Amino acid sequence: MKKVLAILLVLVFTVSLFACSSSDDSTTSPGTSEDTTGAPTSDAPLAVDVAPAAGMESFPDHGPVGWFTDDVDWFAREPYKIAYLTDFDSATSSLFSDGLENWSRRLNFEYQSYNANYDADAFINTMGVLAQQGYTGMILNPDMSYFDRVKQAADEYGISWLPGFFPMLDDFGNPMTAQGSLGIKYQADLLIYWLRDNYKTFLGDIDESKIGLISTTLSNFPVLRMVSEFCVSDFQELFPLAAANAYEAGVDNFGVDANAGYDVIAPIVAAHPEVEYWFNVGSLEDVVQGGVRAIDAAGLGSKSIAISTGANLLQAAWQSGADTGSYKAGVYYSMEIFAEPLICGVIAMLDGRATLETLWPEWKDPAQPYPVVTTACAVLTVDNYAAYNDYVDAYLTAVANKQTPPTWNP
């Protein structure tokens, strides 16, 4: 499985090469991280977290520019040519590409996608070739290691572009361009607050001091690292009697599949017999699933709960009637709904109606140069995932009929 398959994400995110080291190096104690450069602090709020915390989901109404509801006739012009360039091929990337192609029929543009397979030269050269073919709008998901080259090439080729589902953030969580996001603190809150509100349903009225948290992370991805750090701090705040039992497990040296999750979580469980109940969380769905296997193998499956960002694996299991064990929930969003402001934003720039700085004014943080749209997410369980999918259908139907789209009410 490709190394970025499970990164939704979030999100997210930059990508780095993995170095080799032992599994002992993959775990960190509460409140620490393998790489704390740019870690969030209380006096430096993250610009991407305009959205409220879990339980208080209230997002701005769509503004005047950067949405399907913009006051324009999409078919009053010749079709634009818009391309999606990415660095990898994965299920998540394919879903995003499908969503963009669906929007092409609503917004009047020709669509093409390209996978550069982590080849910076191929990525940038293809940008130039497509620009010569009239593709003046693009959604770009480059590796952050050559983000500056991509930005320079876009300027040289006269391309109006936005990042895809990997937001471009610096180490402090500040946006490097206008973009969409799944939030950072917002994601952590959804994960940990759901555990707080639901753990007794699955584990009973247990001794809080015997609960432990394992938060899997990629420390080389600033966004993933920050989500994990917030998961730890949320857990320590909401479960003070168990505050010392919070651990981060870095999979940087193992990959991002289920085997990586097993390999980094199994040693933590084995090293802490004093912990009788485990919360298994993370931004990488495959990794969390591997952690489920590791905790099961330790004989603690019935005494654990797992929740991840992403719920594609969960939904497939629920639809087939398979038992997901301790894996109970996933923070989820529609890729097509996520794509709406991005593709509408590119077209607004092609139309001359907006710039990177003036898109989505309702989401603009005055302290930041660029706006960031945070997509509302839902915590899906076996009880509500079908209703969420019905909501997505209703949203897209309303959009197609120029009606006010519904909001998700869990």
Instruction: Assign 297 to helix, strand or coil.
Output: helix
Long-range CB contacts for residues 41-48, cutoff 8 Å, separation at least 24:
44/172, 46/172, 46/173, 46/174, 46/184, 46/185, 46/226, 47/173, 47/174, 47/175, 47/365, 47/367, 47/368, 47/372, 48/167, 48/169, 48/173, 48/175, 48/181, 48/183, 48/184, 48/372, 48/374
CB 218 within 8 A of CB 252: yes
**Identity at 190, one-letter amino acid code:** L
Write a three-state SS string for 173-187.
Answer: CCECCCEEECCCHHH
Domains belonging to the chain, first-starting first, are 23-38+183-332 (3.40.50.2300), 80-182+334-376 (3.40.50.2300)
Token digits of residue 345: 């934003």
Q: Alpha helices of 21-146 — where are they, by DSSP H?
A: 91-107, 120-132
Model pLDDT, residue 410: 64
Spell 157-174 as b/e; 16+ CB within 10 A means b. Answer: bebbbbbbbbbbbeeebb
Q: For the chain, what's the residue count?
A: 410
Model pLDDT, residue 166: 72
Digit-coded pLDDT (tens) for 224-274: 888 999 999 999 999 999 999 999 999 988 888 899 999 999 999 999 999
Model pLDDT, residue 182: 82
Digit-coded pLDDT (tens) for 317-343: 999 999 999 999 999 988 899 999 999
Q: Which residue, 52, 71, 300, is CA-closest to 190?
A: 52
Identify the segments of the chain with pLDDT beneath 50. Answer: 1-48, 50-51, 53-56
Model pLDDT, residue 38: 28
| Cross-sheet strand order for the sheet of 160-163 | 109-115, 80-86, 137-141, 160-163
Q: Is 0.95 surpassed by the pTM of this model?
A: no
